[in-house]
Structure 1
Amino acid sequence: MEVERVQALATVGLDALPAQFVRPSHERPENSRAIEGMTVPVISLSQPHHALVRTIHEACREWGFFLVTDHGIPPQLIRRLQEVGGEFFRLPQEEKEKYANDPSRGSFEGYGTKMTKNREEKVEWVDYFFHLMHPPCKVKHEVWPQHPPSYREVTEEYNKEILKVTEVLLELISEGLGLEKNALKATLGGDQMELEMKINLYPPCPQPQLALGVEPHTDMSAVTILVPNEVPGLQVWKDGSWFAVDYLADALFFHVGDQIEVLSNGKYKSVLHRSLVNKEKTRMSWAVFCTPPHEALIGPLPGLIDDHNPAKYSTKTYAEFRHRKFNKLPQ
């Protein structure tokens, strides 16, 4: 089945947005404006340990989201990651199509356009490239872009660095929950914990006030660590309002995902977020989803439940959770 790519649509110079991209009135950015200028938590990993555990605990509890600075990933590596991702999306359309995925057949890795329709039959203004980065035994390099030639080298280097940061943050979150520092990583599969890369491309949109790059959602991951380009668009939900997240050069954008909400028995909430688009500029983001293996059993951690705090979530495999989330079934 031939899929209409958003990037290809954008390049023909549309004056008006095709009907399938026009959101219902209550979802449109023009009718659901975000609060601007309020700073979301920004956390430096260079803080003293006890302060770091406390500030991350507060950010996870209050926001489910924070920006990470002084994380140790070289800025030049982040630039190179962004360059090779941008180069892929500048390839001729027929070249990109060689990597097309087919979610209808369970083939999620590769080049895609999210045309999964919601109840209102509306779709999102985004193309993407998705693939597994870790653990090595599950990586399929044949689905990674062959062009530019440096894509694999750069992405493998970034994988090593983001894995280190993920492990540090999972330890700090474990301690914030009053657990042993390796508690979360062990539950998420230890060395078999998976890292998935998703490069999102949001082309210029003729009527951005009517569209969404990604509709409001929570991530089914344990945590998501994202770097954007300089074009803003990410918004997070807190206390009944959307909050615009400003760009901060070289910072990592950290999201609490569904699995941490379950494991923490609701102490930390999976952050609801959405992505807006721009009339003149292309927005891009590089999201790394940290997930357990499909067979891993995920439920509230025993150390966080007792007679006064009963389990609020059922225990199930991550595969079962994914199936239910994809099909909008109750968990």
Structure 2
Amino acid sequence: MVTSEAPRVESLASSGIESIPKEYVRPQEELMSIGNIFEEEKKEEGPQVPTIDLKDIDSEDKEVRKRCCEELKKAAMEWGVMHLVNHGISDDVIDRVKVAGQAFFDQPVEEKEKYANDQASGKIQGYGSKLANNASGRLEWEDYFFHLVFPEDKRDMSIWPKSPSDYTPATAEYAKQLRGLATKILSVLSLGLGLEEGRLEKEVGGMEELMLQMKINYYPKCPQPELALGVEAHTDISALTFILHNMVPGLQLFYQGNWITAKCVPNSIIMHIGDTIEILSNGKYKSILHRGLVNKEKVRISWAVFCEPPKEKIILKPLPETMTETEPPLFPPRTFAQHIQHKLFRETGQDTLDTK
């Protein structure tokens, strides 16, 4: 089945159904852990996703700057996910990106279908819904819009929505500012491993080759949210992932054996460390397992930008400086493309070669 023939979750949700089709119902062992996301978000006890204030990341004062970098490094090592505040990306640009993305999804499904992708033929950019190619054979309660946003010379502008008219200028400006933030974060993470500042950025492809792929996730209201997931548990394959959302909770992180719900922190960007950085750091920085819950009352939209190394040009493996006699390499050498395949095989139960 090609993606353009997959059912649009939005159409299902607005059809007035009271129970969800069986292919959206999660396996029994997962259902035990799915609660009401609004109740979960209110919980104050237990661990909370760290909030990192980046206002001092460029401070003239060496000590102040060091303190900021240490906090970011600690969050990357302990959690692999954090809320970034004072991140330097203008509120205006972020607002415009959100307004434009929401306006695209507010259009009738027939209008969005003009941008439908077709995974079967390798056309992955565009409007789509997840196919059941995952481990559980279940579908996820989301539609999405996916496209490459940076570097500029690699973008396919024919796939970018013409309506609303601000979609292209807002998204292009956001991608440019986010690319600058990625450089800053990679510098701090490099220093945190005792490497020179530009090392990790170079290892993931540098300004020319690091790809920024945007996926706008649209999670319609769900009549039985206790049975479904917006996105099933996974780690990101990227180097870094940056996420905006419309202040409706949904993100959960698997931390110390429990699902922890991320609070909605105003004016923040959520950042995940992805598998790529976990591999390069030999597991010192964590790529955390996470998933998305849905709800009955509110549509949730999130804007995820995945910063990915080129598929074939770089061999991802632990950097020599991250290994010692007592800390051997935890990951075998692979290209990014091979890592993607490895994860797909693992999820479908076909990978019996190794356990990592």
TM range (shorter): over 0.9
RMSD (CA atoms): 1.6
Q: Deviation string for 1:55-85 (max 9, x for gaps)?
A: 1111111111111001111112111101110
Q: Deviation string for 1:193-233 (max 9, x for gaps)?
A: 11110000000000101110001000000110101111101
Does 2:144 align with 1:128? Answer: yes
Does 2:197 align with 1:194? Answer: no
Code of the residue aligned with 2:344 in structure 1: it is F
Q: 1:167 aligns with which of 164, 183, 196?
A: 183
Check 1:157–1:28 CA distance in 2 against 1; reply closer, same or farther (3 A cut): same
Q: Which residue of 1 aligns with 2:330?
A: 312
Distance across 1 between alignment mates of 2:304 and 2:86: 19
- Which segment is superposed worse, 295-304 or 247-256? 295-304
Does 2:264 align with 1:247? Answer: yes
Q: Which residue of 2 aligns with 1:179?
A: 195
Report the CA distance between 1:30 and its aligned residue.
5.4
- Which segment is superposed worse, 281-290 or 112-121? 112-121
Does 2:284 align with 1:281? Answer: no
Report the CA distance between 1:91 and its aligned residue.
1.4
Q: 1:257 aligns with which of 260, 266, 274?
A: 274
Distance across 1 between alignment mates of 2:184 and 2:33: 39
Q: Deviation string for 1:168-189 (max 9, x for gaps)?
A: 1111111111111111100001
Q: Flag structure 2 segments of 5+ consecutive residues without an equivalent.
A: 57-63
- Report if the CA contact (8 A) 2:215-2:305 is conserved: yes
Q: Which residue of 2 aligns with 1:44?
A: 53
Distance across 2 between alignment mates of 1:203 and 1:172: 37
- Report if the CA contact (8 A) 2:35-2:226 is conserved: no
Distance across 1 between alignment mates of 2:345 and 2:327: 30
Code of the residue aligned with 1:285 in structure 2: it is S
Distance across 2 between alignment mates of 1:232 and 1:12: 24
Q: Which residue of 2 aligns with 1:325?
A: 343
- Report if the CA contact (8 A) 2:150-2:176 is conserved: no
Does 2:158 align with 1:142? Answer: yes
Report the CA distance between 1:121 and its aligned residue.
2.3
Code of the residue aligned with 1:46 in structure 2: it is K
Q: Flag structure 1 segments of 5+ consecutive residues without an equivalent.
A: none
- Report if the CA contact (8 A) 1:125-1:211 is conserved: yes
Distance across 2 between alignment mates of 1:32 and 1:284: 19
Distance across 2 between alignment mates of 1:103 and 1:279: 30
Distance across 1 between alignment mates of 2:32 and 2:69: 35
Q: Deviation string for 1:39-64 (max 9, x for gaps)?
A: 31101112321112211111111111
Does 2:101 align with 1:85? Answer: yes
Name the TM-score, length of structure 2 as normaliser: 0.89
Q: Which residue of 2 aligns with 1:28?
A: 31
Distance across 2 between alignment mates of 1:225 and 1:326: 23
Distance across 1 between alignment mates of 2:343 and 2:135: 15
Distance across 1 between alignment mates of 2:345 and 2:94: 34
Distance across 2 between alignment mates of 1:103 and 1:244: 32
Q: Give structure 1 regions of 4+ aligned residues with deviation exceeding 6 angstroms.
A: none
Question: Percent of pairs identical after alignment?
Answer: 43
Q: Deviation string for 1:151-174 (max 9, x for gaps)?
A: 110101101111111111111111
